[in-house]
Structure 1
Amino acid sequence: MCLIVVGWRVHPDYPLVVAANRDEFYARPSTPIGRWPQAPQVIGGRDLEAGGTWLGIAEGGRFAAVTNVREPGMAKGTRSRGELTRNFLVTDLPPKHYADTIAYADYSGFNLLLADGDTLVYCSNRDGEPRALAPGVYGLSNHLLDSPWPKLLAARQAFSKALPGLPDTDAFFRILADEQIVADENLPNTGVPLAWERLLSAVFVKSETYGTRASTLTWLHRDGGVTIRERCFGPYGQPLQSSAISTGE
């Protein structure tokens, strides 16, 4: 997952709203959103290679999403970051309590968002202690929370403007489909070759082998129900399928 924008307690009817793009190699096997066979209360995609997930939500507002930290040349962690989200979603630990149990040194660089309907917590093994977030709109890409990368700033601003339009989703999927490449002078310097910095500077990434695999929009209702909608893509951004699941309505 390479872009997540979250509205936390800023919409009068939907206390949690999340728009996210998952960027990954197309060859990595995964499933679209669905109820998990071993934990049917959870709705999300599943990584079939390592067994975790990049994003999931459960009725009542239990939510988790993860991004990696782009740091080429660093030693790889011994455990998959996708298990951080998976393990939280199938437990009932409060977000801060769960964050305190993580063996941070076992993982490559990550950012993790955890919610339970009452609290939204951000934690990272590259950014100090876990912390609860105040109401507001937040963004994550492949650095730290609210790092001022051009695509993140643009997506967060557009997300804030789109929030009053929910439950209409068109504006959010337009945000997630933005293919604009950032000018070289405004690119972050994350240690990857310039061609990759350019490719990854877009909100919606596409190429032959790597790109945005899924665009996901999910929100929590005041009554505890959830809605999640997803669009999946293949090489060069080819649309594959769309899915929608709602509970508690």
Structure 2
Amino acid sequence: MCLILFAYQVHHEYKLIVAANRDEFYQRPTAPAHFWEDHPEILAGRDLEKMGTWMGITASGRFAALTNYRNPRELTDGKRSRGELVADALKHNGNIKDYMKQLVSHQDLYPGYNLLAGDGNELYYYSNIGKQLQKLEPGIYGVSNHLLNSEWPKVQKGKEGLYQTIRADKEELVEQLFMLLQNADPAPDKTLPKTGVSLEMERMLSPLFIKSENYGTRSSTVFLMSEKELQYVERVYTKDTVKDQKFTIKL
């Protein structure tokens, strides 16, 4: 993922609300969200190049998602795929805090990342750049390709949009969240971060929803967790089509 917006324990019905965009090169082979044949309890899309994932849930209510930390000067040769971090978090049989704690000793194995993992009762954040494991308090959060709640325009716009959307408490919550994720307005130049890429690329990467010739938002996902039910809705974008699929899991 390149943008994860989430509201944790602040809504009267949903303990966790997630709205996220996955940005990737268009040619990278990807499977849409499905229950994995080799791990039937996992519902997630899959990167068919490395066989990891960017976001997913389990039938028991565990959630995990990841974004890359943008640093064009970082040396990545010989490092492992970040997508395995999400897959391993979903496969982990023990307490998710224990899984997150052990990442601290393995932080140099992967390129820079932000990882979220937990459920409606405990949610953790760890970045091998920030190097501090956090148990998150109730609130509204956003993470893109920098650290959690950084003041990037897309993160600030996304958090405000998420707050206004859940505050309105409309019946069409899922569709309202998709509308937020599809905002393709670029940020003003004066607000753009300086991450080491060109100004042209910073402009291209600045909207919530990214479109370019070779790279962009491949899918959007909305995840709602209540006491009794999980709703996982994925919207996949191709050159000519938009396809939705919805999964509902009773707890």
Structure 1 stretches of 4+ with a deviation exceeding 3 A read none
| 2:30 maps to amino acid | S
Secondary structure in 1 matching 2:203: helix
Cα contact 1:60–1:116 (8 A) shared by 2: no
> Gapped runs of 5+ residues in structure 2?
none
Give TM-score scaled by structure 1 length: 0.95
Q: Structure 1 residue 167: deviation in Å?
A: 5.8
- The answer on whether the counterparts of 2:142 and 2:155 sit within 8 Å (CA) in structure 1 is yes
What per-residue deviation string (whole Å, max 9, x for no partner) do you get for residues 39-92 of structure 1? 222111001000100000123320000000000011116100000000110122
Q: Corresponding residue for 2:234?
A: 230
Query: Cα distance, 1:128 vs. partner?
Result: 2.5
Q: Quote the residue 1:161 is aligned against.
A: 164
Greater shift after overlay, 31-40 or 145-154? 31-40
TM-score, with structure 2 as normaliser:
0.94
CA RMSD of aligned residues (A): 1.4
Aligned residue identity for 1:8? Y
Q: How far did residue 171 of structure 1 move?
A: 1.3
CA distance in 2, matches of 1:166, 1:185: 37
Alpha-carbon distance in 2 for matches of 1:96, 1:134: 15
Is this contact kept in 2: 1:58–1:226, CA < 8 A?
A: no
C-alpha distance in structure 2 between counterparts of 1:13 and 1:241, whole Å: 27
The 5-angstrom pairing of residues 95-106 of structure 1 reads 95-102=96-103, 103-106=106-109
Partner SS, residue 173 of structure 2:
coil
The 1:132/1:70 distance shift into structure 2, 3 A limit, reads: same
Aligned AA (1:215): S
Q: 1:199-230, CA deviations, whole angstroms, 9 ceiling, x for partnerless residues?
A: 0001000112100000100111212x211111
Q: Which runs of 5+ in 1 are unaligned?
A: none
Deviation at 1:36, TM superposition (A): 1.0
State the match for 1:129 in structure 2. 132
Tell me the percent identity.
41
Task: Give, in whole Å, the separation in 1 of the partners of 2:148 and 2:96.
Answer: 17
The 2-side partners of 1:93 and 1:104 are apart by 20
Structure 1, residues 142-200: CA drift from partner, whole Å, max 9, x if none?
00000011111011111111122356322101110000011111111111011110000
Residue 72 in structure 1 maps to residue 72 in structure 2 = yes
Aligned residues: 246
Do 2:51 and 2:84's aligned partners in 1 also have CA atoms closer than 8 Å? yes
Task: Give the 3-state SS of the residue equivalent to 1:213 in structure 2.
Answer: strand
